[in-house]
Chains A and B, each alone.
Chain A
Amino acid sequence: MSRSPLLDQKVFQAMRAVSAAAKKGLGDPVLAELVMIRASQVNHCAFCLDMHLGIARGNGESEDRIQLLDAWEEAEGRYTERERAALALTEAVTVLTDGFVPDEVYEAAAKLFDETELAHLISLITVINSWNRLMVSRRVPPGGRQA
């Protein structure tokens, strides 16, 4: 049985509003794409990976940083301290089922992001997790129609 791509337009529009507000509040498009690619890797979302790899490349992100993202912890010198703290938080918030968000991960981010930035970073991690769920469960192919 094939899967239905159906998604209510009000749900779709509200999702877009959450995304836009999170990105705007974070105010760092380069970091935003790294976070969204990393969450989509962890959640195995082909549609989202395709989309955010495209956006990152369009923004001028380097192939090197894109390719190494899956092993960012070992790729010292390729990512800033803020990016590394955000990536660690992304992984912790994405994999909730294995445990809580560790204090050391949260505090490392809280040291480098002010409260407004942090609230929007958490929002962005949450909303890409939501897109990942909507796309994987409906099996939307890379480049396919979102809704």
Chain B
Amino acid sequence: MTTTNKTPNTAPDTAQDAASDTTANTTANAAAKTAGYAPERAPRLEWAKHAPEVYKAMIRLDTAAKQGLDARLYELVKIRASQLNHCAFCLDMHTKDALAAGESVERIVQLSAWEESRHFYTEKELAAIELTEAITVLTDGFVPDEVYDRAAGLFEEAELAQLIAAITVINAWNRFGVTTRMTPGHYRPGRHA
């Protein structure tokens, strides 16, 4: 793949253009940078439009599940589940929300290798991430006792119930996102945080 920083069509013609139209200039630079990228694909189905009652109930579920959970920890859970389920739309949303909320790039990048970068996370976060993986990958087996017990030892009973609900809910959003191929890249942080 080759990309160019400047193309005849997008470079400003004069210094005056560049000074007076920085927005166009930025857009042009972005377009030039992605010129060699694969084209964006349309979603398969606008599921929320075709199942509005389901969507409304999902929003209620989402709101109910996050009550009482630490917001920073919850973003890590959402990012990790979305990585495992390969949900591009959800990764776009939750990495942007996490960054906007002050999460570090380092902790987000290291998340897919958290077992080797444990010193980036608290014990509670590690237990939650481990539980996230076990509940997300049900098809390989059950949720192991040691994973459940570790989380149960660090979270209050009601908080653990919310954590399990929240892991379940991000798994549900991942399923909608992947199956209907919702398009990543257009999320603005804070819209669904």
Contacts and interface: CB of A to CB of B under 8 A. Distances in A.
Interface of A: 1, 3-4, 6-8, 10-11, 13-15, 17-18, 20-22, 24-25, 42-45, 89, 92-97, 99-101, 106, 110, 115-116, 118-120, 122-123, 125-127, 129-130, 132-134, 136-139
B180 interface: yes
B51 interface: yes
Interface majority SS (helix, strand, loop, mixed), chain A: helix
Contact of A110 (B44, B145, B152, B161): B44
A61 to B, nearest CB: 24
A129 B157 CA distance: 23
B86 A6 contact: no
B172 A42 contact: no
Interface residues of B, number: 55
Given A6-B158, A93-B175, A43 B139 contact: yes
A14 B86 contact: no
Interface majority SS (helix, strand, loop, mixed), chain B: helix
Contacts of A44: 138-139, 141-142
B50 A118 contact: yes
Given A100-B86, A136-B135, 18 more contacts: A1-B149, A3-B148, A4-B160, A13-B64, A17-B60, A18-B61, A93-B179, A94-B139, A95-B139, A96-B85, A96-B175, A97-B136, A119-B45, A119-B49, A123-B51, A125-B175, A129-B172, A130-B172
